[in-house]
Homo-oligomer: A and B are copies of this chain.
Amino acid sequence: MEGISPPSSSNPIVVKKIQESRRKPLFIKELIKSILEGNHTALSRGITLVESTATKHQQQAKELIQGCLPHANNSIRIGITGVPGVGKSTFIESFGTLLTQKGKKVAVLAVDPSSTLSKGSILGDKTRMEELVKNPNAFIRPSASGESLGGVARKTREAIILCEAAGFDIIIIETVGVGQSETTVHSMTDFFLLLKLAGAGDELQGIKRGIMEMADAIVINKADGDNVKAAKLAKTEFNRALHLYPEKESGWTPKTLTCSSINNEGIEDVWNLIEEYSTTVKKNNYFQEKRNEQNKFWLMQTIESALKANFYHQAKVKKELEKQLQLLQAHKTTPFEAAEVLLKITS
């Protein structure tokens, strides 16, 4: 087959670029442009795209992320957790409004592994943040749903990138204390805030499961009316409890504050605390180190999930696993011997 060979003067890099731009649909280029301009509708569309499980959207989502990445990473990512009823929405409404008054752009995302069951127990009802939802400098996105926490985490991490590219400098990731969701949120945020209530045995809830150990600040909400005294007492108690934990790698000593979200009291103190934290960990380089560690964690985590999934999803493995578990139960093999048999199937 004879053809016209390219003129020797044509630059192969330029040729490649033109070819690539032809492959990339105009739609994604436009979407990236609009997101970078801070267009909320484009941002929403972008997040919907990265959340899509349709195969045809996956290549587009990749290009979108790739286009936004160079403009991301310039925010403070704040994780907020607390049991249902602690007033997360009211707090975020009050806190977010304050930040926009200070000239910040605030995005609120949610990680809710239970949403497939409860159909959006958090942020599902946008009206719970009446003020913030109308604020042009705020962006609220209900939780990504998904079958696995890993899947939800990926979508949330990618949504963070898009929000950052759209110019949001404060990213709030909200979660409800279900299963491992706090750990997940902790592993994608710079600052971890635990919302608490005074009394009602709530003091005890934080002690288990290492949530208190993860907190950079504990904020006792609803410190208003008859509750003020109990909140102050709880503050002392939590402060004492926090001192039981070993010093944090960040060099930061977690603090306890009280606030009233409905009265807008103590909210500014929370922000001051986060700024103090931010200054500290940017100075001692922990801020960047932690983000690098988080990236590495998610890289490894994704690889290891895939390795496991690829292994266990094989029909032969499934069948043999069942057999080996029966042998184990009958004390006819050891876990190590059984593992060897299973591993031999695929090697």
The answer to whether B339 touches A299 (Cβ under 8 A) is yes
Quote the shortest CB–CB distance from A190 to chain B (angstroms): 15
A65 touches B334 (CB 8 A): yes
A83 within 8 A of partner (CB): no
Contacting residues, chain B, for A207 (C-beta < 8 A): 207, 244
Q: Could you tell me the distance between the alpha carbons of A328 and B292 in the complex, rounded to whole angstroms? A: 8
A23 CB-CB contact with B under 8 Å:
no
Determine whether the beta carbon of B244 is less than 8 Å from that of A331: no
Q: B-facing mask of A178-218, CB < 8 A → 1, else 0?
A: 00000000000000000000000000100110100100000
Is A40 part of the binding interface, using a Cβ–Cβ cutoff of 8 Å? no
Q: For residue A304, which residues in chain B have a CB less than 8 angstroms away from its CB?
A: 304, 307-308
Taking CB atoms, residues of chain B closer than 8 Å to A296 are: 325, 328, 335
Is there an interface contact between A158 and B334, defined as CB atoms closer than 8 Å? yes
A306 interface residue per 8 A CB criterion: yes
- Whether A42 is near chain B, meaning CB under 8 Å from some CB there, is no
| B residues in contact with A295, CB < 8 Å | 328-329, 335
A295 vs B311: C-alpha distance in the bound complex, in angstroms?
19
Choice from B306, B331, B338 contacting A343 with Cβ under 8 Å = B306
Chain A contact residues: over half helix, strand or loop, or mixed? Answer: helix
Copies of this chain per assembly: 2
A290 near B: Cβ within 8 Å? no
Contact for A210 among B210, B244, B298, CB less than 8 A = B210
Pairwise interchain contact B69-A334, C-beta atoms closer than 8 A: yes
Given contacts A161-B334, A204-B244, contact A299 B311 (CB under 8 A): no
Q: Are B333 and A298 in contact (CB under 8 A)?
A: no
In the complex where A207-B244, A244-B208 touch, is A302 in contact with B69 (Cβ < 8 A)?
A: no
- Determine whether the beta carbon of B307 is less than 8 Å from that of A339: no
Interchain CB contact under 8 A, A339 and B306: yes
Residue of B62, B301, B311, B334 near A303 (CB, 8 A) is B311
Offer 8 A-B interface pairs, CB within 8 angstroms, sorted by A: A66-B337, A157-B336, A158-B334, A208-B244, A210-B210, A295-B335, A303-B339, A306-B339
